[in-house]
A = this chain, B = another copy of it.
Amino acid sequence: MSSGHNPQECKPEVVVSTSEELVISADPVHPANLICELCRNFYSLGWVTGTGGGISIRHEDHVFIAPSGVQKERIQPSDIFVLDRVTRTQLRRPLKPLKQSACTPLFYNAYDLRDAGACIHTHSQHAVMVTLLWPGKEFRCSHLEMIKGMRIKGTEKAMSYLDTLVIPIIENTPDEEDLREGMEQAMRDYPDAPAVLVRRHGTYSWGKDWEQAKCQAECLDYLLEVAVKMKLAGMETTVEAGVAP
């Protein structure tokens, strides 16, 4: 929701195509179509209201990114930006005067540090409540079936029911893109973590492809919701090793 400082945005506009070729497709699982459909889905889940949150999908060397500050449930494929995976330069921008999502550097953390194929950012209230109820640097839970829906690093093998899910919590910053460094540090400090929570803000999670990213975002949100309920009911969300849950 704030202005983007991504250096690539300063490149001369003449090199950027506004052609719809890269974003218009009859294939329902084309990234540009998926972003629109999933944003409508996420809106109904309360993850992206008020233009907050979003999703980026990578397909081979192309990174598809939604515009900044628009109603996520109303995005059209023609509104989508396409970036080069490596150089981050815009290969395609919308004809409308839209700005590329300020989450871009955060999404690239997932692409660069985890080789993700998609990254989801939510403003889930469950995430906000968890970061308020867990004032420290991480959230932990264990012995919940839905942990099995999370993957080591977000992109590798599925976690076991016997694993403890540990998600780092970073402090929020006034500008979204300034979260980049904190998120990168958290991902390096917690190399197995499949997501990062941002205090008083929301979640970043990712997966090998859009299906895994969506599955993990749903499992994470479910776990955060249950964790809040447990905490408010006076229960611990982790069980000590050797103690039957």
**Contact assessment for A173 and B149 in the assembled complex, using a CB-CB cutoff below 8 Å:** no
- Interface: A243 (CB within 8 A): no
- Interface: A198 (CB within 8 A): yes
Contact flag A233-B133 (CB < 8 Å), given A71-B215, A158-B2: yes
A213-245 contacts to B, CB under 8 A, are 214-216, 218-219, 221-222, 225-226, 229-230, 232-233, 235, 244-245
Q: List 11 A-B contacts (CB under 8 A).
A: A1-B149, A2-B148, A49-B218, A50-B222, A52-B219, A125-B222, A128-B144, A133-B233, A145-B200, A171-B244, A200-B245
**Contact assessment for A162 and B148 in the assembled complex, using a CB-CB cutoff below 8 Å:** no
A117-143 contacts to B, CB under 8 A, are 123, 125, 128-129, 132-133, 143
Q: Choose from B52, B133, B158, B230 the contact partner of A132 (Cβ within 8 Å).
A: B230
**Contact assessment for B125 and A226 in the assembled complex, using a CB-CB cutoff below 8 Å:** yes
**Contact assessment for A222 and B174 in the assembled complex, using a CB-CB cutoff below 8 Å:** no
Q: How many copies are assembled? A: 4
**Contact assessment for B174 and A129 in the assembled complex, using a CB-CB cutoff below 8 Å:** no
**Contact assessment for B160 and A174 in the assembled complex, using a CB-CB cutoff below 8 Å:** yes
Taken together as a complex, chains A and B put the C-alpha atoms of A234 and B194 apart, in Å, by: 30
**Contact assessment for A123 and B146 in the assembled complex, using a CB-CB cutoff below 8 Å:** yes
Contacts of A123 in B (CB 8 A): 145-146, 222
Q: Which has the most chain B C-beta neighbours within 10 Å: A143, A146, A230, A232?
A: A146
**Contact assessment for A199 and B245 in the assembled complex, using a CB-CB cutoff below 8 Å:** yes
A7-66 contacts to B, CB under 8 A, are 46, 49-52
A100 to chain B, nearest CB (A): 17
Taken together as a complex, chains A and B put the C-alpha atoms of A199 and B133 apart, in Å, by: 24
- Interface: A211 (CB within 8 A): yes
The 3 closest A-B CB pairs, nearest first, are A145-B201, A50-B219, A50-B218
